[in-house]
Every structure is written in structure tokens, then in C-alpha cells.
Amino acid sequence: MDFSIYMDDVVGKAREEIKAAGYSELKTPEEVDAALNKKGTALVMVNSVCGCAGGIARPAAANSLHFDKRPEHLYTVFAGQDREATAKAREYFEGYEPSSPSFALLKDGKIVKMVERHEIESSEAYEVVNQLQDLFEKYCEEV
């Protein structure tokens, strides 16, 4: 099988999985700026094709939303695919090193907290769900 066809399939499935969970894709720097400069809370999932993204982060991204409080806006950028959009999003994550997969919680365009790759890859999906819901409890309003 041609590698590029294989990767298009893997990436396509990863994109669809996170969009089906309710996250909006940001594919350009302009889309990132427009989205992340909004008032309110936003969760940004930095998606990737690594095993911990598929086995832990994307399931956690979906399941964490079954909670009384959650961010007003849900976004995703795809590391290694939409490079310029991901780089622009990371400008908002001041104080944190680039990592993927990861989650960034922002309030009024400012970083509040990140759940970084090292916190994801060493965890079970339910543990990441709990981390995200703890952040939602602290920083988000009831929906």
C-alpha cells in the first residue's frame, strides 16, 4: 500500500473522530485567531496520529463532555498536518512546550491550563477524562 494513501486514511479517521465528538477544526492561522480570541472558555485538542491520541486522548476528548460544566467552545488543530494552524494555536499556550496530543483550556483567549502529552500517554482514558472534568469544574459554567 502506498504510504501517503495509508496516512490520508489514518488522518482522515482521526479528524472525523474528533469532529464527531463536537470539536470544530481550525485549519488556518486565521481560523485559530478568530476562534481563540472569543470571550468565554475554549478547549483546544491538539490532535495527532500517535497511539496515545487514538487510544487515550480522542476518547477522553469525547467522553469528558458528558458533564454538567464544560467549555463554551470546542476546537481542534492537527499537529503534523495543519502545521501553520497548530503553530498559531501554540502561540496561545504561553509557558507550555509543544506537545501532541494535548489539551489547552483557555478563558477569554488566555491559557488557563494544559493537559500535556506526558500526562496523557502515561494514563488511561478515564484518568484524562477526570483531569479535563476537574478543569471544567473549576473554570467553566454549567451548560
Residues designated catalytic: 50, 52
At residue 104, what are phi and psi to the nearest 5 degrees?
-125, 125
Sign, CA torsion 96/100/103/109: positive
Q: DSSP for 8-65?
A: HHHHHHHHHHHHHTTPEE--SHHHHHHHHTSSSEEEEEEE-SSHHIIIIIHHHHHHTT
Pairing relationship of beta strands 110-115 and 102-107 according to DSSP bridges:
antiparallel
Q: Cα(3)–Cα(6) distance, rounded to whole angstroms? A: 5
Q: For residue 6, what is its C-alpha cell?
A: 495509508
